[in-house]
Every structure is written in structure tokens, then in C-alpha cells.
């Protein structure tokens, strides 16, 4: 069993970790490196990051729609994700064997300004992290939010936070694998 406090603290820490990871691995890239792809069907580093910006912005819009009274619900501190959310968390892990197709609305263009995209990523992560404070008194077991990839499913606030960070890790690691590719352009 997870506590609301523990989940929110973990969410905030993971947002910081995601930002640190991106700064460490991608902040020194040149534009051609950001947009390099070893195959046309594979996303570039910039596309991975822009996809995260798009889905992160989706969650921000969902969070902004939550009624103020839900943010001060003062419910018990216990939290348990539902069966469906546990399954979604399992299939979007970085190590998952299942490749999910993104809806067209969340597929980034193939040419993106990498540095701008990365700055936007830092901003989106910071804005999402601010919800760890805003949700500190909320009933995170409520709020029917729509995940980016599954418009026919509803998740609660706590599940949304968990899904978001799992999704971010998956695509940051995907971007890192691109950078580690043997043909990735290197500069001295």
C-alpha cells in the first residue's frame, strides 16, 4: 500500500531526476544530433523529448480541470492503484517488450529545434512537479483523468502521476539508446 504523501514525494523526486537525466545526457547536443535517426521509422532524441512535452502538457491540462474542492478533500493518506492502472504501469515500463503506438496527436514532427524542446521539457517537468504540493491534501484516488494513449480509459490522480513518470523514464531511456547508437554523430 502506498501513501499519498509517499507517492507525491516520489513523484516530485522523479520529476527532478528526469530533469537531471535530460541535462546530463542531452544538454550538450548539437541540433543535427538532436534530430538524427538511424532509420526513418525511429524517433530522434528531439522527437522523444517533444513527445514527452506533448503528453506532459496533456496531463497539465487534465490537472487544471480538477475542481478546487477535490484539492482539499482531506481524505485518508492511503492509496492503491486499480487493477487496470497496474497493468498500464506494467506495459509502459522502460523494459517492456510491448511497443505501444502513439495517437497521431502525440506524434512529434521529425524536425524539431532540440535545444528549445529540451528547455520546454525542463519547464513542463517543473510545472508537473508543482502538483506534488497542490495535491498534498487532495483525494488522489478520485478525479477521472484521461491518459494520453488511452482515451477510452479513466485514471485517478495518483495513477496519472505514476503513469506520467513511468512514461517519461521510458522515452528518456529510448533517447539515450539513440545517443549510444554506433552511428550516432560524434564531435570532439
- Look at residue 84 in the predicted model and tell me its pLDDT: 61
| CA nearest neighbour of 11 among 173, 167, 120 | 167
pLDDT digits (tens, 9 = 90+) for 155-181: 888 888 988 998 899 999 999 999 999
Report the b/e string of 17-39 with b at 16+ CB within 10 A: bbbebbeebbeebeeebbbbeee
Of the candidate CATH numbers 3.30.70.260, 1.20.120.450, 1.20.1050.10, 3.30.450.20, the domain formed by 2-179 belongs to 1.20.120.450
pLDDT digits (tens, 9 = 90+) for 47-66: 999 999 999 999 999 999 88
pLDDT digits (tens, 9 = 90+) for 100-148: 666 555 566 666 788 999 999 999 999 999 999 988 888 887 767 777 7
Distance (Å, rounded) from C-alpha 171 to C-alpha 82? 24
Domain ranges of the chain: 2-179
- pTM reported for the whole predicted model: 0.86
Distance (Å, rounded) from C-alpha 45 to C-alpha 95? 18
Amino acid at each position: 500500500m502506498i501513501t499519498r504523501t509517499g507517492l507525491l514525494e516520489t513523484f516530485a523526486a522523479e520529476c527532478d531526476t528526469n530533469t537531471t537525466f535530460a541535462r546530463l545526457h542531452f544538454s550538450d547536443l548539437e541540433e543535427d544530433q538532436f534530430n538524427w535517426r538511424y532509420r526513418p521509422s525511429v524517433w530522434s532524441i528531439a522527437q522523444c523529448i517533444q513527445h514527452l512535452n506533448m503528453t506532459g502538457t496533456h496531463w497539465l491540462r487534465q490537472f487544471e480541470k480538477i475542481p478546487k474542492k477535490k484539492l482539499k478533500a482531506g481524505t485518508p493518506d492511503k492509496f492503491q492503484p486499480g487493477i487496470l492502472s497496474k497493468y498500464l504501469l506494467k506495459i509502459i515500463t522502460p523494459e517492456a517488450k510491448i511497443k505501444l503506438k502513439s495517437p497521431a496527436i502525440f506524434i512529434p514532427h521529425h524536425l524539431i529545434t532540440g535545444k528549445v524542446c529540451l528547455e520546454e521539457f525542463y519547464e513542463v517537468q517543473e510545472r508537473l512537479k508543482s502538483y506534488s504540493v497542490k495535491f498534498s491534501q487532495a483525494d488522489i484516488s478520485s478525479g477521472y483523468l484521461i491518459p494520453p494513449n488511452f482515451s477510452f480509459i479513466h485514471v485517478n490522480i495518483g495513477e496519472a502521476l505514476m503513469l506520467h513518470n513511468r512514461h517519461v523514464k521510458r522515452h528518456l531511456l529510448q533517447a539515450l539508446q539513440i545517443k549510444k547508437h554506433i552511428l550516432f554523430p560524434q564531435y570532439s
